[in-house]
Amino acid sequence: MSMTKRDLVIRISNETGLVQQQVLDVVQKTLDYIAQAVAKGSKVELRNFGVFEVKIRKARIGRNPNAPETDVPIPRRAVVKFKPGKEMRESVIKLPTGQ
Protein backbone atom coordinates (compact mmCIF):
# COMPACT_ATOMS: atom_id res chain seq x y z
CA MET A 1 0.00 0.00 0.00
CA SER A 2 1.32 3.43 -0.83
CA MET A 3 0.37 6.90 0.31
CA THR A 4 -0.12 9.59 -2.31
CA LYS A 5 0.15 13.34 -1.93
CA ARG A 6 -3.65 13.44 -2.19
CA ASP A 7 -4.00 10.95 0.68
CA LEU A 8 -1.67 13.09 2.78
CA VAL A 9 -3.64 16.27 2.01
CA ILE A 10 -6.99 14.65 2.87
CA ARG A 11 -5.66 13.26 6.14
CA ILE A 12 -4.10 16.56 7.22
CA SER A 13 -7.25 18.45 6.21
CA ASN A 14 -9.47 16.08 8.20
CA GLU A 15 -7.25 16.26 11.29
CA THR A 16 -6.72 20.03 11.28
CA GLY A 17 -9.95 21.36 9.82
CA LEU A 18 -7.98 23.29 7.17
CA VAL A 19 -9.37 23.47 3.63
CA GLN A 20 -7.85 20.81 1.38
CA GLN A 21 -6.61 23.41 -1.12
CA GLN A 22 -4.72 25.25 1.64
CA VAL A 23 -3.13 22.01 2.81
CA LEU A 24 -2.24 21.09 -0.77
CA ASP A 25 -0.58 24.49 -1.29
CA VAL A 26 1.54 24.08 1.85
CA VAL A 27 2.49 20.47 1.10
CA GLN A 28 3.37 21.32 -2.51
CA LYS A 29 5.43 24.38 -1.52
CA THR A 30 7.29 22.27 1.05
CA LEU A 31 8.12 19.62 -1.55
CA ASP A 32 9.10 22.29 -4.10
CA TYR A 33 11.51 23.96 -1.65
CA ILE A 34 13.09 20.64 -0.71
CA ALA A 35 13.51 19.70 -4.39
CA GLN A 36 14.98 23.13 -5.27
CA ALA A 37 17.50 23.00 -2.43
CA VAL A 38 18.63 19.47 -3.31
CA ALA A 39 18.86 20.40 -7.02
CA LYS A 40 21.32 23.14 -6.01
CA GLY A 41 23.41 20.60 -4.10
CA SER A 42 22.25 21.67 -0.64
CA LYS A 43 21.60 19.20 2.16
CA VAL A 44 18.07 19.37 3.58
CA GLU A 45 17.85 18.21 7.18
CA LEU A 46 14.41 17.75 8.72
CA ARG A 47 14.84 16.89 12.41
CA ASN A 48 13.06 13.72 13.51
CA PHE A 49 12.37 12.86 9.86
CA GLY A 50 15.58 12.55 7.86
CA VAL A 51 18.15 14.11 5.58
CA PHE A 52 18.10 14.58 1.80
CA GLU A 53 21.50 15.14 0.23
CA VAL A 54 23.37 14.84 -3.04
CA LYS A 55 26.04 12.16 -3.30
CA ILE A 56 28.37 11.57 -6.23
CA ARG A 57 28.39 8.00 -7.52
CA LYS A 58 31.70 6.85 -8.96
CA ALA A 59 32.02 5.90 -12.60
CA ARG A 60 31.82 2.14 -13.03
CA ILE A 61 31.45 -0.64 -15.54
CA GLY A 62 28.04 -2.27 -15.87
CA ARG A 63 26.93 -5.37 -17.73
CA ASN A 64 24.08 -5.76 -20.19
CA PRO A 65 22.09 -8.78 -18.92
CA ASN A 66 21.18 -9.68 -22.52
CA ALA A 67 24.83 -9.55 -23.61
CA PRO A 68 26.94 -10.12 -20.47
CA GLU A 69 30.17 -10.12 -22.47
CA THR A 70 29.54 -6.44 -23.30
CA ASP A 71 30.88 -3.84 -20.87
CA VAL A 72 28.73 -0.74 -20.45
CA PRO A 73 30.53 2.27 -19.01
CA ILE A 74 28.38 4.11 -16.47
CA PRO A 75 29.65 7.67 -15.96
CA ARG A 76 30.10 9.45 -12.64
CA ARG A 77 26.88 11.15 -11.61
CA ALA A 78 25.06 12.94 -8.83
CA VAL A 79 22.21 11.13 -7.07
CA VAL A 80 19.81 12.06 -4.28
CA LYS A 81 20.12 10.04 -1.09
CA PHE A 82 17.68 10.00 1.81
CA LYS A 83 18.81 9.00 5.27
CA PRO A 84 15.85 8.46 7.60
CA GLY A 85 15.86 9.88 11.11
CA LYS A 86 16.23 7.65 14.16
CA GLU A 87 12.49 7.39 14.89
CA MET A 88 11.63 6.40 11.31
CA ARG A 89 14.48 3.86 11.18
CA GLU A 90 13.33 2.30 14.45
CA SER A 91 9.72 2.08 13.20
CA VAL A 92 10.74 0.49 9.90
CA ILE A 93 12.95 -2.09 11.60
CA LYS A 94 9.85 -3.40 13.38
CA LEU A 95 8.04 -4.14 10.09
CA PRO A 96 7.50 -7.83 9.32
CA THR A 97 9.72 -9.00 6.48
CA GLY A 98 7.50 -11.85 5.34
CA GLN A 99 10.32 -14.39 5.47
pLDDT in tens, 26-74: 999 999 999 999 999 999 999 999 999 999 999 999 988 888 888 999 9
Residue 71 sits in the same domain as residue 99: yes
Q: What percent of the chain has pLDDT over 90?
A: 84
Residue 1 sits in the same domain as residue 32: yes
Burial level of 13, CB count in 10 A (0-12/13-18/19+)?
middle
Residue 60 sits in the same domain as residue 32: no
pLDDT of the residue at 38: 97
72 lies in some domain: yes
48 lies in some domain: no
Q: Would the pTM of this model clear 0.85, i.e. be above it?
A: no
- Band of residue 99 on the pLDDT scale cut at 50, 70, 90: low
In total, how many domains does the chain have?
2
CA dihedral 19→24→30→33, nearest 10 degrees, is -130
